[in-house]
Amino acid sequence: MRGARVSSIILAVDDSNTMRQMVAHVLRQGGYEVLEAADAEAALELARAQPVHAVLTDHNLPGMDGIALVRALRAVPEHARTPIVVLTTERSEELRQAGREAGATGWMVKPFDPERLLEVFGRVLATA
C-alpha cells in the first residue's frame, strides 16, 4: 500500500476501457480506491456525487477533452484544490502548458510506468 491513504479515492478517466482497467489495477494495487469514467461528463457527475481525493484523466476524450475537464473540475468548489494529473499520449509543450494554466497538478505521457504512477499519486496526495 505504498503511499496510499486508506481513504484516498482516485477518479480515473479514459475512453479506452483497456487503459482505464490498467490504470485502475495499478492504483488499486497501490492501495487506492478507484472510480472509473469513460468520458468527462461521467467524470464530472461522479466527482459531484461522491468524494474524490484525486483525478487521473486522459486528454483525448470524446466530447470535452481533458483540459476542459480540468477547468470544469476547478470550477466545482470541492475540487478547486483536488490533485489532477493528465495521463496522455500528447507530448506537446504547448498542450502541457495549457494543462498547467487550466489547473492540472501534473502531466504524464503514455505509456506509463506503474511505479512512477504510484509515486506521483503518493506525492500529490501527501501535499493535498
Q: Which neighbouring-strand residues pair with 35? A: 11
pTM of the shown model: 0.93
Average pLDDT over residues 47-55: 94
The per-residue pLDDT for range 106-116, each reduced to its tens digit, is: 999 999 999 99
Structural domains in the chain, CATH included, are 9-126 (3.40.50.2300)
Average pLDDT over residues 6-24: 93
Confidence of residue 3 (pLDDT cuts 50, 70, 90): very low
> CA of 74: how far to CAs of 10, 44, 79, 99, in Å?
16, 11, 6, 12
